[in-house]
Each structure stands twice: as structure tokens, then as C-alpha cells.
Amino acid sequence: MSHAAQYLAQTAEIARSLDPSKLEAVVQRLAKVREDGGRLFLLGVGGSAANCAHAVNDFRKLCGIETYAPTDNVSELTARTNDEGWDTVFAGWLETSRLNDKDAVMVFSVGGGNAERNVSPNLIKALDLARARNATILGIVGRDGGYTKQVGTEVVVVPTVDANLVTPHAEAFQAVIWHCFVSHPSLQRVATKW
């Protein structure tokens, strides 16, 4: 089997393995955030950060949810990294944004954060702040979901079907899943052009 055929077969397997009720539960949480006048903060690093930037547009434009990604402000992100350290960049940003119990933090991550391995400590500190402020914690993560899955309110874990392709599948399905959310009748307020 060619790589392309195998990749597409794995993609179909992942799609079939996702539990629609988990996605619906996230949609209901997002609807509540909007109803309560809360904000949505999207957190991710690497390719997941790029996905956050795209998703900010969709949640704002299509769903009318006030949404932000700290990684969209490269000046603040790099100043905080330089002055305070990488591990606190998201928590510092959320503190300045006055994160509160009406808000939600949604993590896009391949691993979800792992303190023992020092992977994505910035996500871990942000989630600790979200917990302290009683904000809703949502996520679209891969592998076993890591810290995000451990502390999250509603977290979708993209199943691992090939240990060598965890990152591409997890990051691809972040897009599949958030597009499911923003096109959901309970959230979408503005139709897409096409």
C-alpha cells in the first residue's frame, strides 16, 4: 500500500472512531460561553498555533463568539518569552485578559502537555490558571490527551492509529473538528460564502 493510500485509510479510521457525543458536548459548552457573554481563548504551539489563528476567525465570524489566540500577537508573545520565560507566556496573557468563570480556554495540541517530560509547559501553566479562575477547559488533542485531558471539562482526543503519524493526524483533525463546531446549527450564526 502506498503512503498516500495508507494515510487516507488511517484518516477514515480516525473519523469513524471519533465519538459524535463528545463533539456535541463541546458545542454545548461553547454555546453556553457565548450565551453567558464569555470569551474563548485558543492555545496552541507549532502547527497547532497556526490552527488557532484560523479557528479564531471562524469562531468570531461564523459563530459570534469573542475569540482570541495569544500567538496571534507575536510582539507580546516574544516580549513575554524574553522577559518572563516561555512557560508562562499564555498564563500571563490570560491574566492580563482577566480570564474568568464565563470564559473558556480551548487547547489545540498533539500531546496536551506533559509536566514530567517538560512538554508544552506553557499550556500546563495556562490550564492551571484556568482551573483557578473556574474557566471552562476544552481541547482537541492527540495521543492520550496529556494534561489537557486530565484537567479538561470537555476534551476530544484524536485516536492514535499510527505512532509514526501522531502529529499530522492530530493537527489535521483539529481542523476537521473545529470546522464541525463552527458549522454546527447550535453555534453557526453566519453562513459561509460557498
- What CATH number is attached to the domain comprising 62? 3.40.50.10490
Residue 101 in domain:
yes
- Specify the pLDDT at position 128: 98
Residue 104 in domain:
yes
- Which residue range forms the structural domain that includes residue 66? 3-182
**Phi/psi at 139 (nearest 5 deg)?**
-165, 155
Instruction: Tell me, rounded to whole angstroms, the distance of Cα 100 from its chain centroid.
Output: 18
CA-to-CA distance for 183 and 105, rounded, in angstroms? Answer: 20
Question: Per-residue confidence at 153, pLDDT binned at 50, 70, 90?
Answer: very high
- Specify the pLDDT at position 95: 97
CA-to-CA distance for 29 and 119, rounded, in angstroms? Answer: 27
Residue 188 in domain:
no
> 3-state class of 143 per DSSP?
coil
Residue 44 in domain:
yes
- Total number of domains constituting the chain: 1
Q: Find the mean pLDDT for residues 143-158.
A: 97
Question: Per-residue confidence at 60, pLDDT binned at 50, 70, 90?
Answer: very high
**Phi/psi at 190 (nearest 5 deg)?**
-125, 130
- Specify the pLDDT at position 99: 98
Residue 192 in domain:
no
Residue 7 in domain:
yes
> 3-state class of 176 per DSSP?
helix
- Specify the pLDDT at position 37: 98
Amino acid at 153: T
Mean pLDDT score across all residues of the chain: 97
Query: Which residues 6+ apart lie within 8 Å of 36 measured at CB?
Result: 102
CA-to-CA distance for 84 and 104, rounded, in angstroms? Answer: 24
Residue 25 in domain:
yes
Residue with cell 493537527: 171
Q: DSSP code of 114?
A: B
**Phi/psi at 36 (nearest 5 deg)?**
-85, 0
CA-to-CA distance for 50 and 44, rounded, in angstroms? Answer: 8
- Specify the pLDDT at position 2: 98
- Specify the pLDDT at position 134: 98
CA-to-CA distance for 50 and 71, rounded, in angstroms? Answer: 8
CA-to-CA distance for 43 and 132, rounded, in angstroms? Answer: 17
Residue 63 in domain:
yes
* pLDDT tens digits for range 99-149: 999 999 999 999 999 999 999 999 999 999 999 999 999 999 999 999 999
